[in-house]
Structure 1
Amino acid sequence: MSAASKDRWSADVTRNSDALDLKPKIFAADDPAEIARSLKRSAERSRRRKSSPFRSAMSMLTFYLNRAGSSLSRSRRNKLEKAKEKLREEFGRPPG
C-alpha cells in the first residue's frame, strides 16, 4: 500500500467512522475543549457504536493521533493531547 493510499484510508475512516458521526474538520479545531465536547456529543448520539461513549470518543481521538504520526506539528499534537485530557474531564474520568 502506498503512502498516498494509506493517507486516504485513514482520512476515510475519520470521515466515515461506523461508530461516530464527526463534525467536519473537528481535529483541526484550535480549542482542545471544543474537540472534546464535539467528540463527546458524537459518541453519546451514536447508535452504531459498540463500546461506551467515552471509549468510542477516546478511540477516535487516539486513532487520529496515531495515524497522523509525524506529520503533525508539535503544537497540533499538543492540542490533541490536551483534548484527551479535556475528554476525560467531560466524562468525569480521572486524569490518565
Structure 2
Amino acid sequence: MDLERDIFKTGSAQAIAESLKRSSTHSKRRKGTPFQSAMSMLNFYINRAGRNLPKARRATLQQAKRKLREAFGREP
C-alpha cells in the first residue's frame, strides 16, 4: 500500500486517519480489505517505534485508530 510521505509525523489524528483511508481505498497493492490494510499500517508504525515514541505522540496515534474506525463505519 502506498502512503503519503511523513503522514505519521503530522499533528492531527484526523489527518492521519483520512490519509490512511484514502491511501488504502485507492491502492491496488494491498492484501485484505482497505480497513485491514490501513489499521495494519498504523499498528506497524506504533509497534516499530516502540518505547522511543513519546507519550503525546502515542496518544495521537491511538486517537487516529479511533478516527479510522469511525471513518470506515466500524464500532468505535
Structures share a fold, TM > 0.5? yes
* Shorter-normalised TM range: over 0.9
Unpaired runs of 5+ residues, structure 2, are: none
Shift of 1:78: 0.2
Asked if 1:82 is matched to 2:63, the reply is: yes
How many residues of Structure 1 are paired with residues of Structure 2 in the alignment?
76
TM-score under structure 2 normalisation? 0.98
Determine what percentage of the aligned residue pairs are the same residue: 57
Question: Does residue 35 of the first structure (1) align with residue 16 of the second (2)?
Answer: yes
Q: Distance in 1 between matches of 2:16 and 2:65?
A: 9
Runs of 4+ in 1 over 3 A off after TM superposition: none
Given candidates 32, 43, 54, the residue that maps to 1:73 is 54
Matches within 5 A, 1:1-96: 20-95=1-76
Report the TM-score, using the length of structure 1 for normalisation: 0.78
Q: Structure 1 unaligned runs (5+)? A: 1-19
Structure with bigger RCO (C-alpha 8 Å, 6+ apart): 2
